[in-house]
Every structure is written in structure tokens, then in C-alpha cells.
Amino acid sequence: MYATYIFPRLMDWVLRGERFQAQRQRLLAAAHGNVVEIGFGTGLNLPHYPRTVTDLYAVDPAPLLPQRVAQRVAQALFPVRLQHVSAEELPYEPATFDCAVSTFTLCTIPDPLRSLREVRRVLKPDGRFLFLEHGRSDDPTTARWQDLLNPLQRRVACGCNLNRQIDQLVVEAGFHLEQLDREILSGVPRVGGELYRGTAIP
């Protein structure tokens, strides 16, 4: 009940806030061509994709708020193909996509390293991986609080982790970081507001 009805509505309400939308807009301006998005959630990225996107293949293991998602998909300027499958096993051929996108997703995927290796597999050699995630702080005190609070966070936020070091995961999966910006999202407690926004290439 909580994971199916309550938490998705809470997550959608929080993540469609103005601060988060501005971050999505900034990241997705570089998206183009044939795109795969892992962790599609409730489709909050859709209004921020530019007209340079031709097709979107969206992946999420759970059908979250299906009526709301259907409305957002219907308003998209390009075809959206949503599949309820795991990001750890993407159902696509190698070197299929021009871009891959992950926003506020790697915190929750059970095996983020495996999913990132799958993303690298399905990207074209000149493709780009665009990511916007929260994760481990560079500040030792904040990082200790993240470690302390993480077990509780995982329970109340349906598997979301506060303390994953996103840049390290991306590099370990075989990507080269082309750009990485770190900032603290204003108005959000620092334990959950440490942002990683970047672009990586296979």
C-alpha cells in the first residue's frame, strides 16, 4: 500500500518542485536523438527534453501512478516507449542510443554498477550519458550523518540510499567523466541535497 500508492505520490510532489525542475532543464538541454532513460518514475523529465530528441525509450521496474504517467506521455513531443523492466538488464541491442539519462535513480537501483554497465553497453561509441543524482557528500560530517541515517532512509523511501558516491560508480562502470558539477540543492537538508550533475562518455 505505502510503496504502491503513498510513496509515489509523495515522491512526485517533491521532485516536481521548482528547484528540481530547474536542475532537469539544465541537464536535459544536451539530450538529442534516440534516448534511453532509466528510472522513468512518473515522467517528470518529459517536459524538459528538447526538440532535438526523436525517440525516448523509458525504463522503470514499477508502474508508478499509471494514469498520471499516461497523461504526461500523451503530451510529449516525440514517441515514448515505456517498459517495466529492470535497468540491470536493458532489453536493447548494443550501441543503440545517442543519449542515456538518469535522474534521481541511481540512489535506488539495487545494483547501480550493473545498471551503469548496461547503459554503457547500449550507448553508441560517441553517445553521452547525462546524469543528475543525489549522493555522498564531500563534507566528512555530512557523510557521517548520511551513513547513520541511511538504514532509515532506505525503509521510508523505498530503497533510496543517501550515501552512494555517484561519480565513482560512473567511472567504475567504464565511463569517462566529461563534465561533473557538484552543488547543494537549496531548501533541502544537506544529507539529501548533495547533487551530482554531469556528462560521461563510454
134-174: pLDDT as tens digits? 999 999 999 999 999 999 999 988 889 999 999 999 999 99
- With CA atoms as reference, report the closest residue to 26 among 102, 125, 127, 132: 132
Distance between CA atoms of 132 and 101, rounded to whole angstroms?
8
SS3 for 84?
coil
pLDDT given at position 8: 76
Distance of CA 74 to the CA centre of its chain: 21
Residue of 67, 166, 148 whose CA lies nearest to 109? 166
Q: Positive or negative, the Cα torsion across 171, 155, 59, 24?
A: negative
Cα angle 125, 176, 196 (rounded to 5 degrees) comes to: 120
pTM: 0.95
Q: Give the model's pLDDT for residue 70.
A: 93
Distance of CA 32 to the CA centre of its chain: 17
Query: Looking at residue 77, what DSSP letter applies?
Result: S
What confidence score (pLDDT) does residue 186 get? 87
Sheet with strand 176-184: strands edge to edge: 80-83, 53-59, 33-38, 97-103, 123-134, 194-201, 176-184
**Domains of the chain by range and CATH?**
2-201 (3.40.50.150)
pLDDT of residue 4: 76
Counting as low any pLDDT under 70, the low residues of the chain are none
